[in-house]
Structure 1
Amino acid sequence: MANDAKKIRFAPNGTIYIAPAPVDGTAGGTTPPVAIGDGVAAPTGYKSLGYVDPAGVTLTPSVESQPVEAWQSAAPVLYNVTKASFSIKATLQETNELTTELFWGNQWVEVMAGQTGTGIFRLDLSSTPDFKEISLVVDWNQGAIRYRCVIPRAMISDRGAIQLSRTENGKYELTIEALDYHGSLGYVLTNDDIIETANLL
């Protein structure tokens, strides 16, 4: 195959969407999208996390394995998969209800004065936090070439520090790990013409 500069890809545009994780057997739950979308509208049931810092989104698939050795060979005869994972890391730039609840790991509740709301909201930082499952979609495109990564079930595994500064906006650094969903960590959709269909078996 000859070198082709037209096959070099960038991701100048993109969006991260989240929704509650699907619950098997529950009517009205989140249904992970199976269509690539139009690159503009959010998938049904999902909400955008807004602006992400210029570093963009980091997607990291990982497989760990161990060698299986045999008496008859000095080299391993095969490798056995011991762990598979898929992580998504991004630093969110918008301060809103969705991003702050994700980062702090709880919900805002209005402080009440009797039966009257005060307009002050409180978010409790639990000493025994309850890890909430989410569903995640990452869209990115280069012109008309679109990609969509869908993680049906995921949890936030790590949070970065918030730097309060006079000269730089607040940012919310999150690492999100995919969870098993019917034997899958997720899937990627694209309309990119990278598949040589004539060579498929």
Structure 2
Amino acid sequence: MPSGNADKIRFAPDGMLYIAPTGTGLTLPTDAGDGATAPTGYKALGYVSENGVTLTPSITTTPLPAWQSAAPVLYNVDSASFQLQATLLEASKLVTETFFGAEWVAVEEDVAGTPTPTGEYRLDLSSVPELKEFSLVCDWTHKGHLWRAVINRAMVAERGAITLQRTQAQQFELTIDAMDSSGALGYILTSENMGTTP
């Protein structure tokens, strides 16, 4: 007889990524939310490609062999990481500034000695870019169960190429790494019963 429980299989048909600048004024979420509202102080990054979001916790270890055993007798942790990958679809101010790591500024021209907006905006790509730190929240739901991953301190580790085509939307592919925050990389919250139920 099967010993599994199909009711415990979970998908992620819906969700959202939220971002906020780190700082003393930011309060990290302490609950799984309602599946629709951004946590206080965070803003939604909008549509994500149909591939969804990939969360990757990983640990790199070094085995310690011993003379008396053919197998390692101990593993030492070399590094730990928590990584999020997603491809954003909206060419919004928030998404493009996060992707390029720079801010848009209004272009002005001198009209009779008065700086006047031209209606255009400029984003400068520095040869010595300043890496920006932020906080990230990933929400997802399935069958009424709410899940939330929270990264207190995060930074963009890799960016994908933007393809400009007639029939394909621009895509902003990001790989985001969690950074240490007082010994933690982040945490997961859920409304699902994870107590005594197997």
Which one of 43, 55, 66 corresponds to residue 70 of structure 1? 66
1:3: how far off?
A: 1.4
- The CA distance in 1 between the partners of 2:142 and 2:39, in whole Å, is 19
Partner residue in 2 for 1:187: 187
Which one of 42, 50, 54 corresponds to residue 46 of structure 1? 42
Which one of 66, 73, 82 corresponds to residue 86 of structure 1? 82
Partner residue in 1 for 2:127: 127
- The CA distance in 2 between the partners of 1:69 and 1:62, in whole Å, is 22
- Percent of aligned pairs with the same residue? 55
Partner residue in 2 for 1:6: 7
Counterpart amino acid of 1:68?
A: L
Which one of 100, 103, 109 corresponds to residue 104 of structure 1? 100
Unmatched runs of 5 consecutive residues or more in structure 2: none
Counterpart amino acid of 1:104?
A: F
1:170: how far off?
A: 0.7
| More displaced stretch, 30-39 vs 53-62 | 30-39
Please tell me whether the aligned partners of residues 159 and 175 of structure 2 are also in contact (alpha carbons under 8 angstroms).
yes
**Runs of 4+, deviation exceeding 4 Å:** none
Counterpart amino acid of 1:13?
A: D
Counterpart amino acid of 2:143?
A: G
| More displaced stretch, 67-76 vs 137-146 | 67-76
Counterpart amino acid of 2:100?
A: W
- The CA distance in 2 between the partners of 1:53 and 1:6, in whole Å, is 27
Q: Deviations over 1:131-157 (max 9, x none)?
A: 100100000001310100000000000
Aligned residues: 193
Partner secondary structure for residue 69 of structure 1: strand
- The CA distance in 2 between the partners of 1:90 and 1:61, in whole Å, is 15
- The CA distance in 1 between the partners of 2:70 and 2:7, in whole Å, is 44
Please tell me whether the aligned partners of residues 154 and 177 of structure 2 are also in contact (alpha carbons under 8 angstroms).
yes
Q: Deviations over 1:89-135 (max 9, x none)?
A: 00001110000111111000111113211111000000011110010
Please tell me whether the aligned partners of residues 31 and 190 of structure 2 are also in contact (alpha carbons under 8 angstroms).
no
Partner residue in 1 for 2:150: 150
More strand by share: 2
1:68: how far off?
A: 1.3
Pairing of 1:166-181 with structure 2 (within 5 A)? 166-181=166-181
CA RMSD in angstroms, aligned pairs only: 1.4
- The CA distance in 1 between the partners of 2:189 and 2:60, in whole Å, is 25
Partner secondary structure for residue 132 of structure 2: coil
Check if 1:136 corresponds to 2:128.
no
Counterpart amino acid of 2:17?
A: I
1:69: how far off?
A: 2.0
1:193: how far off?
A: 2.5
Partner residue in 2 for 1:19: 20
| More displaced stretch, 188-197 vs 101-110 | 188-197
